[in-house]
Structure 1
Amino acid sequence: MRDLLINIAAAVVVFVAGAISRELLGHFKARHDRAFWGRRLLRGRTNLFIGSFTRLNHLEPSGWVGGGDVRALQCLTSTLDRNGADFEVAYASRISEEQLHENIILLGLDETNSLAVGMFERLGSGFRMNAETMTITDLPTGEIYRPEWDVNELNGADPRLDYDGSWFITAGSDGTQVARRFRTDYGVLVRAENPFAPGRTLIMMAGIYGFGSWRAAQLPRDEEFLRRCAGLRNFECLFRVEVQQGQLLATSILVLRPLPGIRTDPGSPALSREPSGEGHSGSPPPYGPPDSPRGARTDGGQSR
């Protein structure tokens, strides 16, 4: 009987210790998340807008969404749900006027996400993404970034041999068949004031392809990225991500800079810009959102 009671007591202690550990871990993750997202977004109403390839509606009437965007969506909904955020996932093509005046997360380029059209100009961003040429241009430097591919000539070989599922066959510039595999994508992550609703937050996450969107959704969990964002309230980031057989590998932050302040006129859709004061002493807490908990810092880590 004594041994039974000891075993029961030990089981209770282990259960309680596990519950406390999970609670502490959840609390730490919540503070970590607030470092990027801020209480304003996590405690307010948020709309997460995705796009779809409407030109493929004849294949899937409910909407055709890329695999990278799906994985990005899974990452974002997991984070928002863990923090108890009040959010809704919707197609950008079906937005209402009311939704524009809440917190907004935009996932994807203007080819799929209609809300992204003109948003870079509206926010005063130095980036321009072109869905037709599949490029990102950094206006201050004039640098143009393009995805990179591995290309192998088949030279009459059976295209089904010696290739895994990450390769596909296409015609080269001279009409001969070549095997291509995706190697490098580029993407942007922008955090700003919602230009349609002062006091609300706008987040933009987009890659030239879905791999960039996927990595953009993961960056707010990256210790090194958060460290580099310290002190930036509204900012834009350009990054490069290496891809191998459909999996994300190393990530390099190429550009990270503050955005100008945005002032909106409630009676007019016109916007005007204010000089940015981001990054100066007197700006509140680490990582930027003015409503983030002061002192919610993490150090170390590497971009991946």
Structure 2
Amino acid sequence: MSGSLHDLVINLSSAAIAFAAGWSFDRVRDVWRFRSVRGFWKQFATRDLKVVTSIFIKEEHYIWERSGLVGVGDVLALNELRQQLYRVGVSHLPLTPSHQLTGLERQGNLVLVGGPHSNQVTAEVMRRLPVTFSFGAVETHDANIYDALTGEVMRCVMDSNDQLTVDQGLLIRATNPFNRERHVIILAGSFGFGTSAAARLLAGSDLLNNPVVAEGHPFEAVFSVEIAGGTPQQIELRKLRQLDSTMLRAGA
């Protein structure tokens, strides 16, 4: 073998080895990075999983779009959920608008996108859970979050032009009150920014490394998120509490 050919073979072999090593390192890094996300979602990767979206179909919303309207924040949350669930083998999101979810489908694993003001299934589930955080009354469009243990009222922040600068929301994982063999997750912002931030929070180390979450216990969490340029920015996990799944309530 001539010297030039020999050098070419060596260079090609070195490049192949370097490529394989780099690919393997990236693969191992991704496996390690997303191990907690996969662990969190593993129990939801079932055939009866339903991702239930908020939908606006009443009054003025119905006039503009007869099929119903979905908020931009919910769409962003769904895209984030799609990426996370893909890592546990859910190749497509089994989406269902909240007003179309059947009684039987309520008994499966549920991911509820949107708060009780816009997602009727979220409202049904939250009435049955022993939560200590809750939103205000639907009738008055009260988006504040109330802490039943401390009496604290958590509010969004508006600037002088009445633009939202800090949104907030609730993130809940619990036993499905319609079927104790299944689970439910609620992503509920005071506004759509908060809902999309809740989905991002699910993949964040602040949440996943919390002992309550890491050990698989049911929990409720409240968070806030700064809004800049019409986009959710830094998310602050404010409070997280373990839920007692033995204290499921009868439906109201």
Alignment partners' CA distance in 2, 1:256 and 1:140: 13
TM-score (norm 2): 0.85
Structure 2 residue matching 1:57: 3-state secondary structure: helix
Range 72-81 or range 131-140, more displaced: 131-140
2:130 corresponds to:
124
Which segments of 5 or more consecutive residues in structure 1 lack a partner in the other structure? 152-178, 272-304
Distance between the aligned counterparts of 1:195 and 1:186, measured in 2? 25
Match of 2:143 among 110, 134, 137: 134
What is the distance in 2 between the residues matched to 1:78 and 1:223? 17
Gaps of 5+ in 2: none
1:206 aligned residue (188, 193, 201):
188
Closer, same or farther in 2 for the Cα pair 1:238/1:19, shift >3 Å?
same
Mapping of residues 3-14 of structure 1, within 5 Å: 3-14=7-18
SS of equivalent to 1:137: strand
Q: Distance in 1 between matches of 2:10 and 2:67?
A: 58
| Identical aligned residues as a percent | 29
Corresponding position of 1:103: 109
Distance between the aligned counterparts of 2:36 and 2:84, measured in 1? Answer: 11
TM-score (norm 1): 0.71
SS of 1:96 mapped into structure 2: coil
Q: Structure 1 residues 12, 60: CA separation in 2 closer, same or farther (over 3 Å shift)?
A: farther
Cα distance in 1 for partners of 2:195, 2:99 equals: 19
Contact between 2:54 and 2:119, CA under 8 Å: does it hold in 1? yes
Amino acid at match of 2:38: R
Distance across 2 between alignment mates of 1:228 and 1:50: 27
Is 2:17 the counterpart of 1:33?
no
Q: In structure 2, how many angstroms separate the alpha carbons of the residues matched to 1:28 and 1:83?
A: 14
User: Which segments of structure 1 move beyond 4 Å, counting only runs of 4 or more?
Assistant: none
Is the helix fraction higher in 1 or 2?
2
- Which amino acid is 2:63 matched to? H
More strand by share: 1
CA-CA distance at 1:184 after TM superposition? 1.1
How far, CA to CA, are the matches of 2:154 and 2:8 in structure 1? Answer: 67
Aligned residues: 239
Amino acid at match of 1:137: Y
Q: Distance in 1 between matches of 2:67 and 2:6?
A: 63
Instruction: Output the amino acid matched with 2:82.
Output: T
Alignment correspondent of 1:237: 221
The corresponding residue for 1:60 is 65
For the 8 Å contact 1:195–1:262, the answer to whether it is kept is no
Distance 1:48 1:5 in 2: 53
RMSD: 2.3
Q: 2:52 aligns with which of 49, 52, 56?
A: 49
